[in-house]
Structure 1
Amino acid sequence: MLTIFGFGMVVTFTTLIMTKRMSPFVALIVVPIAFALLAGTAVSDLGAMMLDGVKAIAPTGLMLMFAILYFGIMIDAGLFDPVVRYILSLVEGDPLKVLMGTAILAAFVSLDGDGSTTYMIVCASMLPLYHQLGMNAINLACVTILAGGVMNLTPWGGPLARAATALHVDPSAIFIPMLPAMAVGVAGVIGLSWYLGLVERRRLGFLTLGRPRTGQVFASLGAAATGSIDCRRDDAGDEFAMLPREDHADELRRPRLLWINAVLTAGLMICLILAVLPLPILFMIAFALALVINYPSLEEQRQRMAEHAGKVVAVVSLIFAAGVFTGILGGTGMVEAMSRNLLAIIPQSWGPFLAPIVGIISMPLTFFVSNDAFYFGVLPVVAEAASHYGISDVEMARASLIGQPVHLLSPLVPSTYLLVGLAGVEFGALQKFTIKWAILICLLMMVAALAGSAFPILSEG
């Protein structure tokens, strides 16, 4: 009976958020409570389960909150501006260099874990150059979304945070062994940009006509490269538009503090990889230092925190709501019952291969269902089943991240609508053009992850 209730809860949750009958935040709280009560769970026990779930994911919520605030301050202060200008100065009107510069810029800016920010900076910086040279903007959208899909596997990115939350594991334990796979993924995207650049060279006759004059292009990019473009949701809340920024972005820039901010960010990344302190503490310290260094005035600090508060609340509230979902799923015994029945239908010979199987199926599943549905609904059940074959939760969490470059092409991802809107390409055309390359990048990452023992191809447990 618990199995029926468990699968019913997952299916109901997935259906409600896919059909937009409920927001993920509401569904993560209401649906498990309703099914737990139907299964006969006492209200007093239910409260303890939910609180245990929230406590388990509290460190992840703290890490996300301060990571978002930290990178928000770095963007406000202009940490990425020199990189944008430098890449623009190197491309020299060569389509191949333009595309490779786009990939490198997208990978670098994606460090903040926010796809919308990446798309705005890359499109605002590079798109005028594409138009001036007559290049196809679908190439820009392709390499940008793929670079974002790879770099989104940082601990403060949505997928890894969801996987860590759903399985109650340390985000750094997932992230560090995945670094080689991410490096291979980024290299694959840069290699793809080189190939697409060769195609554009031939199409535009670059080698025979010579290099276009790009001086006027760079002159027209000054405002774009310094972040004078913003995006806003329309009244429906789903579509996006480019609008002039209203918060006087130039006044927030701190060019004299560039090297201090760069050293602070590099130090943060090194401490993160070396696990000097827990991730939430590292980001709390880094954010406090960044705020004091760049905006010493109390009024400026208040304004900066208020500016980024909306994004923080949206993300962190979802993470804590997920704690309610996973707490009830585990506390009622549903996940254990579901995994036992799942084990019964999985061929015995397939069990030891569950990690790579999850890596492969994460591509279509995260395309057709949201990350919330996959990580909070599917992953805990499969991970519990895998544990019977000696595959740990952290290994399953790593495997579940493989499909993210494909996931971003899903119509369920709002930020992708921003990208196609900024780039001026059709959503379906981007999917058709990019899907084969996204699958290839995912497979490259899987091979690298298996080679680096991030998860086993065959469990001997």
Structure 2
Amino acid sequence: MLAPLGALTIVVLLAAILSKRMSPLVALIVVPVAASLIGGFGLHTGKFVIDGLKNLAPVVGMFVFAILYFGVITDAGTLDPIIDRILRTVGTRPTRIVMGTTLLALLIHLDGSGAVCFLVTIPAMLPLYDRLGMDRRVLAASASMAAGVNFLPWTGPMIRASAALHVPISALFNPLIPVQIVGLAFVFGASYWLGRREEKRLGLTVAGGAVALPARALSDEQQALRRPRNFWFNIVLTLLVLGTMVAMGEKLPPALVFMVGLCIALLVNYRDVDMQRERIDAHARAALMMAGILLAAGAFTGIMQGSGMLRAMAQVAVGFVPPGMASHIPVVLGVLSMPLSLLFDPDSFYFGVLPVIAEVGAQLGVPAVKIGQAALLGQMTTGFPISPLTPATFLVCGLTRVDLADHQKFTFPLLFGASLAMTAACVALGLFPL
């Protein structure tokens, strides 16, 4: 009874989200509550939900304050000198331009927002590409690779994986740091190759003179928020926040680290109380939207686990997995995770599919943290910039004026290659048994 009901719940959830008949927030609440009532759990449903919310509270807190922190730091203009320096340095050599695009996208994506990354990177670099006649697909691909490999603790996939599996973010992220370095090496290597290929195509084999690009225009409102005199303070503060979170993730909750960091950033950059309130209000919408989805996901996972539906489905699925293949589940998922981004949006995969895979793995002796790490190597990380299920993909195509099919065909092998390189690194480093 429980296994079929759980399977039906997940199918209905995926159908509701993928067909866009319900928003993820609504589907993650309505579908499991209805399933629990149909299963005869009655008032116990409330306890399942509360248990799920309790498990998720630290993750939600970290995400909200991370969004607010990076929003305030960006408002203060901390990244402005870095962006301007990159634009001055790349000159007119395609290799430098493509690698500069990758570096710029990597830095902008520190806030975890793919949309912001593309909105800043592509308009800043597009004049150079057009002036030299470079392929705009290269611009779309280099920005996509940088954003895709940059899965940080406060990015959506990492937070979803932690929430769905009830695994601390530090346990997921810290072992993946060297793996991410391998992914970044692949991305910059691919960017260099793309640049060299453009040089040969255009017949540009030597560096040209600097192109005088118009200065990036800031609105009066943006200019009023800039605090150039606090540049080095904000840089050091950000490094301290990130370093503390990585080094002491087991002792200090990441939410507390970002809370304190946000307070310091506000007090130093915007001492006026009204300005502090305005900065929080300016970024509250993005933080609240994701927090709402995460709390709804807590209700979903709480019901699926508390009712026993997840365990029942896993017990049925275990019978179809040969015992000798159990240890290979992380490697297989790591290889498939990026293409799965074309089939599942992040909410339906991380909250609907991943818990079932993790439960199957658990019953075969595979830790949930390994399943989560495997998913993060591609599912809506390297996969999101070409997935038709994410708005960021259409933003890339719109800003570069590249057809979606052309962007996917050109960029898919590069993003899939990055995912495979990171999977291989996990095997080489002993994170995944082969």
Please, which of 346, 366, 380 is the counterpart of residue 341 of structure 2?
A: 366
Contact 1:167–1:393 (Cα < 8 Å) also in 2: yes
Note the C-alpha offset of 1:388.
2.2
Aligned pairs, number: 430
Letter of the aligned partner of 1:29 in structure 2? I
d(CA) in 1 for partners of 2:65, 2:127:
34
Q: Given the alignment of the two structures, is residue 186 of structure 1 paired with residue 209 of structure 2, yes or no?
A: no
d(CA) in 2 for partners of 1:213, 1:60:
49
Q: How does 1:203-242 map to 2 (within 5 A)?
A: 203-207=201-205, 211-217=207-213, 220-223=214-217, 228=218
Letter of the aligned partner of 1:216 in structure 2? A
Instruction: Give SS of 1:453's match.
Output: coil
Q: 1:406 maps to what in 2? A: 383
Q: 2:429 maps to what in 1? A: 452
Q: 1:132 maps to what in 2? A: 131
Note the C-alpha offset of 1:182.
0.8
- The gaps in structure 2 that reach 5 residues or longer are none
d(CA) in 2 for partners of 1:392, 1:402:
16
Note the C-alpha offset of 1:54.
0.5
Contact 1:367–1:408 (Cα < 8 Å) also in 2: no
Contact 1:125–1:221 (Cα < 8 Å) also in 2: no
d(CA) in 2 for partners of 1:405, 1:349:
29
d(CA) in 1 for partners of 2:212, 2:307:
65
Instruction: Give SS of 2:421's match.
Output: helix
d(CA) in 2 for partners of 1:386, 1:18:
26
Please, which of 306, 313, 318 is the counterpart of residue 331 of structure 1?
A: 306
Contact 2:310–2:359 (Cα < 8 Å) also in 1: yes
d(CA) in 1 for partners of 2:189, 2:182:
10
Letter of the aligned partner of 2:236 in structure 1? V
Please, which of 299, 302, 326 is the counterpart of residue 274 of structure 2?
A: 299
Contact 1:107–1:186 (Cα < 8 Å) also in 2: no
Note the C-alpha offset of 1:451.
2.3
Q: 2:234 maps to what in 1? A: 261
Q: 1:67 maps to what in 2? A: 66
Note the C-alpha offset of 1:381.
0.9
Please, which of 364, 367, 370 is the counterpart of residue 395 of structure 1?
A: 370
Contact 2:182–2:421 (Cα < 8 Å) also in 1: yes
Letter of the aligned partner of 2:212 in structure 1? Q
Q: 1:202 maps to what in 2? A: 200
Q: 1:316 maps to what in 2? A: 291
Note the C-alpha offset of 1:216.
2.5
Note the C-alpha offset of 1:79.
1.1
Instruction: Give SS of 1:346's match.
Output: coil
Letter of the aligned partner of 2:430 in structure 1? S
Q: How does 1:46-125 map to 2 (within 5 A)?
A: 46-125=45-124
- CA displacement 1:245-271 (0-9 Å, x = unmatched): 6x7211111110000000000111110
Q: Given the alignment of the two structures, is residue 420 of structure 1 paired with residue 359 of structure 2, yes or no?
A: no
- CA displacement 1:112-153 (0-9 Å, x = unmatched): 1010111111112211111122111111110111111111x2
User: Percent identity between the aligned chains?
Assistant: 39
Q: Given the alignment of the two structures, is residue 348 of structure 1 paired with residue 344 of structure 2, yes or no?
A: no
Letter of the aligned partner of 2:154 in structure 1? W
Contact 2:77–2:228 (Cα < 8 Å) also in 1: yes
Q: 1:242 maps to what in 2? A: none
- CA displacement 1:265-296 (0-9 Å, x = unmatched): 01111101111521010000001111111111
Q: 2:352 maps to what in 1? A: 377
Instruction: Give SS of 1:75's match.
Output: helix
d(CA) in 2 for partners of 1:406, 1:438:
7
d(CA) in 2 for partners of 1:417, 1:33:
33
- TM-score for both structures, normalised by structure 2: 0.96
Please, which of 229, 247, 255 is the counterpart of residue 280 of structure 1?
A: 255
d(CA) in 2 for partners of 1:104, 1:193:
10
Q: 1:23 maps to what in 2? A: 23
Letter of the aligned partner of 2:314 in structure 1? S
- The gaps in structure 1 that reach 5 residues or longer are 229-244
Q: 2:410 maps to what in 1? A: 433
Change in Cα spacing, 1:216 to 1:90, as seen in structure 2 (3 Å) is closer
Letter of the aligned partner of 1:52 in structure 2? D
d(CA) in 2 for partners of 1:291, 1:348:
54
Letter of the aligned partner of 1:449 in structure 2? C
Note the C-alpha offset of 1:316.
0.6
Note the C-alpha offset of 1:361.
2.4
d(CA) in 2 for partners of 1:98, 1:407:
23
d(CA) in 2 for partners of 1:212, 1:411:
38
d(CA) in 2 for partners of 1:149, 1:449:
17
Q: 2:243 maps to what in 1? A: 270
Instruction: Give SS of 1:155's match.
Output: coil
Note the C-alpha offset of 1:212.
4.4
Instruction: Give SS of 1:397's match.
Output: helix
d(CA) in 2 for partners of 1:108, 1:171:
21
d(CA) in 2 for partners of 1:34, 1:149:
36
Instruction: Give SS of 2:83's match.
Output: helix
d(CA) in 2 for partners of 1:68, 1:372:
19
Contact 1:61–1:319 (Cα < 8 Å) also in 2: yes
Letter of the aligned partner of 1:79 in structure 2? T
Q: 1:235 maps to what in 2? A: none
Note the C-alpha offset of 1:211.
4.5
Q: 1:39 maps to what in 2? A: 39
